[in-house]
Amino acid sequence: MIEIERVVKSYGDRKVVDQVSLTVESGAFCVLLGTSGCGKSTLLKMVNRLIPATEGTIRVGGEDIRGIPAEQLRRRIGYAIQSIGLFPHWNIEDNIATVPRLLKWPEARIRDRVTELLDLFHLDPELYRRKRPSQLSGGQQQRIGVARALAAEPELLLMDEPFGALDPITRDVLQTELARIHKATGTTILFVTHDIDEALRLADRIAIMDSGRLVQHTTPIDLLEHPANDFVRDFIGRSEISLKLLSVRTVAERLRPAERGDGEPIAATAPLREALALMIARGTGRLPVSDAAGHPVGAVLLEDLIQ
Amino acid sequence: MTEAVAANPARGNRVLLVLAGLGWLGMIGAGFVSLAPNRLMSGRPLSLWMVTDWPTLAGITVLGAALLAAAFRPQGKALHRATALIAALLLLLIFFAAGRAAEALSAAAGPVARISLGTAFWLTISCTSLAIVDSFQRLKAGPVLRIGTALAVCASVAVMAAGGVFDALSIMVEYRSHQTSFAHELARHGVLVLGSVGAGLAIGVPLGIKLTSSLRLRGPVFGTLNLLQTVPSVALFGLLIAPLSLLAAAVPALKAFGVEGIGATPALIALTCYALLPIVRYTYSAFSGVDPVVIEAGLGVGFTRGQILWRVSLPLATPVLLAGLRIVLIQSIGLAVVAALIGAGGLGTFVFQGIGQDAVDLVLLGTLPTIFLALATDFTLKSVTSILQQRMAP
């Protein structure tokens, strides 16, 4: 759990972060969203004390971070950044093992942990363990970057636009993997991005910032349905709010169990946006819906999508 | 030209052709050794076939012809290996021939006659060495083969020297008459070089690291060091005489530690000053070349500042630092010769004595070891760098 209380960061007269209070519950996936220069990265870096806060209090797991030596605090918190920053002179195993070695884990446990993490990211441990970072693609490097951040089983993971420099396809794959890993490990994640779609896809809470201030902190659906002000509305994209809502809601929410439809069924867990796209593609207003096992469970209708 | 040859191996090896051709021209047209009636008179050049016995002459001719022939053959790995081997054997045989020639000439001309090495000797030694280097480059030879060959050639020449093969050459005559002082001056040269570079590293490396984070200091520090570097070495040695003499006179305790206007102290100070600019410059570029993202990642995972320096920055900066160390050592080995002018000793002693006495062989006794030291340092540090890079690379 992270508790941020009335935190201020100022450089001279300029307040980069202004009176921000924010609580991230244990196991939550909180996305800090905002334009460049809104203070979201600064706020993130104040949590692991890469940047000292000017005023206010930050507690991690109930402990005031000023009471913990900076290095020890950072070894408890995973940190992944856009430019990755793998150590180029170390192989993949040594990179991932950085924090466990600092924490003096036994070598056997470190080895097992590296294997486990490479497996988690679907990278063959025996193939990748001894490779150098320069031999890996950008997407693979960022997987190792996140694996390094997760290595010592941190209670908290800070991510600063980790997928911002990747191509759309790789980004999509890594977002899926991160969501899966978050579900599997239950690590609390604070994730910075300026990409509203990435935020909607990953977050269970979104904190949107503007000019150093926290504007709104809520669930993705609530953010779309009740944007706090014009800034949030503009940020989401006024005309597209309804489309974005379709992408966070699932087919199951608009399911008519009594109806049936023709053609290839759509999964009940798919986002409504996908259903709309299929309807347009097939020139129909009605799609059959199936459950995870593939059994028909009803249909979804165009009129329910646009209501 | 080398690339063109590499692209079309059937066309032969033009580099080898030039080297072998130069060697042949030298041997035919220039003196292999020169014979002077005594130490101070200038010598008369003598060609190889005038001074050597026929088996040695035959050996050199056959190996030389083989090298020339190899230049025309279609190139391949086996031929490169053979070329390197032939060139190495030829190199050693030329050394041997020079020693034997001197022996024969001195037996005939008497003890005061001086036999020194001639143009053809130096030319063929250079050409065969370059032929070995060229073959290794074409073979893409690793550091182990390069170091092994260099050691083998040096050891063979050393064995010949120890066996007395070169005893009749005038440079060895000079060596024998300066034997005790040679060891002393060589050691003194080493002290001057290692002392000044050591002091330069102790000051320059922390200063260079400091400059990577301090924009304010950068301009003044580099300005001062650049200015220092432009002062001619003799002038800097001279400039230090007055203040250090005054200092020694004012604080007698310092004099007990060897602080004087002339001698080793001012030489060490001046050499340290010259070492500083390259050390600071290379340290600065080595450490500022480390990606700041890697440093941020290091802080992010919980390294202390010290751990980042030792585990991240230093290993990443090492190749550039070694390149700097190589430059500084070679520079100091050369500059330390001049230090003999203010009585600091070192190999320069023989150079300036030789100039004073108009004895070229004595000058060579000072310069040849200096050149050898510089080349050996260059070769050693280059090898270390390439071994490190091999281990760093995937």
* B151 inside domain: yes
What CATH number should be reported for the domain holding residue B385? Answer: 1.10.3720.10
- Between A89, A134, A148, which is nearest B301 by CB? A148
Which residues make Cβ contacts (< 8 Å) with residue A151, sequence separation at least 6?
A: A78, A96, A97, A98, A99, A100, A113, A114, A117
Q: Three-class SS of residue B110?
A: coil
Q: How many CB pairs under 8 A join A and B?
A: 57
Nearest CA-CA distance, residue B386 and chain A, Å:
15
Residues of B in contact with A134 (CB under 8 A): 394
Summarize pLDDT for A242-272 with one digit per residue, the tens. 788 888 888 888 889 888 888 889 988 888 8
Nearest CA-CA distance, residue B138 and chain A, Å:
27
A229 touches chain B (CB under 8 A): no
A176 touches chain B (CB under 8 A): no
Same domain, B24 and B134: yes
Residues of B in contact with A48 (CB under 8 A): 300
The span from the CA of A288 to the CA of A266, in Å, is 6
Residues of A in contact with B291 (CB under 8 A): 85, 88
Mean pLDDT, residues A14-24 taken together: 93
Residue A136 DSSP class: S
* B225 inside domain: yes
User: Domain total for chain B?
Assistant: 2
Q: Which residue of A has its CA nearest to B305?
A: A71
Whether residue A81 and residue B312 make contact (CB cut-off 8 A), yes or no, is: no
- Between A48, A79, A87, which is nearest B312 by CB? A87
Same domain, B164 and B223: no
Whole-prediction pTM: 0.77
Q: Which residue of B has its CA nearest to A94?
A: B311
Same domain, B301 and B272: yes
Give the model's pLDDT for residue B3. 45
The span from the CA of B219 to the CA of A123, in Å, is 48
Mean pLDDT, residues A184-212 taken together: 92
ipTM above 0.90, yes or no: no
Determine if residue A160 is left, alpha or beta; phi over 0 gives left, psi from -120 to 50 gives alpha, anything else beta.
beta
**Domain stops at, among B113, B141, B169:** B169
Q: Which of residues 252-291 of A touch B (CB under 8 A)?
A: none
CA A7 vs CA A18, A29, A171, B15, B94: distances in Å: 7, 21, 32, 71, 81
A86 touches chain B (CB under 8 A): yes
B316 touches chain A (CB under 8 A): yes
- Which of B274, B284, B285 is CA-nearest to residue B225? B274
* B174 inside domain: no
Whether residue A71 and residue B302 make contact (CB cut-off 8 A), yes or no, is: yes
B302 touches chain A (CB under 8 A): yes
Whether residue B394 and residue A87 make contact (CB cut-off 8 A), yes or no, is: no
Whether residue B300 and residue A134 make contact (CB cut-off 8 A), yes or no, is: no
Give the model's pLDDT for residue A87. 93
The span from the CA of B382 to the CA of B394, in Å, is 20
Residues of A in contact with B315 (CB under 8 A): 89
Same domain, B138 and B265: no
Whether residue B297 and residue A72 make contact (CB cut-off 8 A), yes or no, is: no
Residue B310 DSSP class: I
A36 touches chain B (CB under 8 A): no
A115 touches chain B (CB under 8 A): no
Least confident range of A5-9, A18-22, B67-71, B224-228: B224-228
Residues of A in contact with B298 (CB under 8 A): 85, 87
Same domain, B244 and B222: yes
Instruction: List the beta bridge partners of residue A166.
Output: none
Give the model's pLDDT for residue B393. 59
- The answer to whether B60 and B48 are in contact (CB under 8 A) is yes
**Tokens, residue B345:** 């000793």
**% of chain A with per-residue pLDDT over 70:** 99
Give the model's pLDDT for residue A304. 85
Determine how many CB atoms are found less than 10 A away from the CB of residue B185.
21
Residues of A in contact with B297 (CB under 8 A): 79, 81, 84-87
Same domain, B131 and B30: yes
CA B168 vs CA A155, B35, B117, B389: distances in Å: 80, 11, 11, 45
Which residues make Cβ contacts (< 8 Å) with residue B7, sequence separation at least 6?
A: none
- Between A72, A79, A135, which is nearest B300 by CB? A79
Residues of B in contact with A72 (CB under 8 A): 302
Residue type, B208: G
A128 touches chain B (CB under 8 A): no
Same domain, B157 and B204: no
Whether residue A84 and residue B297 make contact (CB cut-off 8 A), yes or no, is: yes
The span from the CA of A221 to the CA of A205, in Å, is 9
B358 touches chain A (CB under 8 A): no
Least confident range of A115-124, A201-210, B30-39: B30-39
Every domain of chain A and the residues it spans: 2-244, 249-306
Determine the structural domain holding residue B327 and report its residue range: 179-392
- The answer to whether A2 and A47 are in contact (CB under 8 A) is yes
Same domain, B161 and B197: no
**Tokens, residue A219:** 């669930």
Half-sphere exposure of B119 (CA within 13 A, CB side): 14
Same domain, B242 and B353: yes
Whether residue B297 and residue A71 make contact (CB cut-off 8 A), yes or no, is: no
Summarize pLDDT for B331-387 with one digit per residue, the tens. 999 989 988 888 888 888 899 988 888 888 889 899 999 999 999 999 999 888 888
Nearest CA-CA distance, residue B378 and chain A, Å:
25
Give the model's pLDDT for residue A128. 93
The span from the CA of B376 to the CA of B371, in Å, is 8
CA B313 vs CA B3, B220, B288, B318: distances in Å: 37, 25, 9, 9
Same domain, B139 and B276: no
- Between A81, A99, A132, which is nearest B302 by CB? A99
A88 touches chain B (CB under 8 A): yes
Low-confidence ranges of chain B (pLDDT < 70): 1-10, 254-261, 392-394
Give the model's pLDDT for residue B187. 92
**Domain stops at, among B169, B188, B211:** B169
Summarize pLDDT for A120-147 with one digit per residue, the tens. 888 999 999 999 999 999 889 999 999 9
Give the model's pLDDT for residue B342. 81
Nearest CA-CA distance, residue A143 and chain B, Å:
15
Nearest CA-CA distance, residue B250 and chain A, Å:
52
Whether residue A87 and residue B304 make contact (CB cut-off 8 A), yes or no, is: no
Same domain, B188 and B76: no
B305 touches chain A (CB under 8 A): no
- Between A85, A89, A102, which is nearest B302 by CB? A102
Give the model's pLDDT for residue B1. 41
The span from the CA of B234 to the CA of A298, in Å, is 97
Burial classification of residue B338, based on how many CB atoms lie within 10 Å of its CB (0-12 exposed, 13-18 middle, 19 or more buried):
buried
Q: Which residue of B has its CA nearest to A45?
A: B300
Fold classified for A2-244:
Rossmann fold (3.40.50)
The span from the CA of A149 to the CA of A286, in Å, is 45
Same domain, B162 and B117: yes
Query: Whose structure tokens read 């790789």?
Result: A170
Whether residue A50 and residue B293 make contact (CB cut-off 8 A), yes or no, is: no
Query: How many residues are there in chain A?
Result: 307
- A249-306 has CATH 3.90.1280.20 classification: yes
A74 touches chain B (CB under 8 A): yes
B298 touches chain A (CB under 8 A): yes
**Domain stops at, among B169, B192, B221:** B169
Residues of B in contact with A81 (CB under 8 A): 293, 296-297, 300
